[in-house]
Structure 1
Amino acid sequence: MDINFSNQMPIYVQIMNLIKLDIVTKKLRGGDKLLSVREMSENLKVNPNTIQRAYQELEREGITYTQRGMGTFVNDDNDMIRRLKNEMA
């Protein structure tokens, strides 16, 4: 995943879009666990709060869900995946 720090688009939105793309291209599938906030922030070299915001927005949109103490997972709802494909087409 690459983040463009000079892009006008907020970093958390870029992260959301990268995760959505991974879901649409089946790099991530329903039930897959996302990296922890700490791991993702270290990989992308961004503030953990930025990752947390992206994860919260993805959950708000119904794309992911969080299990307390377990992590954040990709929703396996086929309708959501179809909707994502249409949005990104």
Structure 2
Amino acid sequence: MNDHESAMKFDETRPIYIQIMENIKSKIARGELKPGSKLPSVRELSGDMGVNPNTIARAYSELEREGVIVTRRGQGTYVTDDPQKVLKI
């Protein structure tokens, strides 16, 4: 994910965490992020994007609440492998 994240331009009129969520969902919908694929850590993605780690954590938290991603303690954060959730994106 890091190649494109640093180039992402943010719309100052909308919350950045929502824009990050939309970016991740878009990559899943386009097949750039496959079901079950590992996402960068909060710290790694925040460094790549130049945003506060809390912003990434909020985006990940909301995506997890929506069932788009899952966090496996001690392993990382992954795109859901639930086909029904992926189809709804």
In the superposition, the TM-score normalised over structure 1's length comes to 0.88
- For the pair 1:33 / 2:23, whether they are aligned, the reply is no
Partner residue, 2:21: 16
Give the CA deviation at 1:38. 0.6
- Measure the CA separation in 2 of the matches of 1:61 and 1:29: 17
Give the CA deviation at 1:76. 1.2
Q: Which runs of 5+ in 1 are unaligned?
A: 85-89
Matched-pair contact (CA < 8 Å) for 1:37–1:51 = yes
- Measure the CA separation in 2 of the matches of 1:18 and 1:8: 16
Partner residue, 1:71: 76
- Measure the CA separation in 2 of the matches of 1:14 and 1:58: 12
- Measure the CA separation in 2 of the matches of 1:3 and 1:80: 27
Give the CA deviation at 1:7. 2.6
Query: Percent of aligned positions with the same letter in both sequences?
Result: 49
1:53 is paired with a residue of what secondary structure?
helix
1:76 is paired with a residue of what secondary structure?
coil
User: RMSD between aligned alpha carbons?
Assistant: 0.9
Partner residue, 2:9: 3
- Measure the CA separation in 2 of the matches of 1:78 and 1:65: 13
Partner residue, 1:62: 67
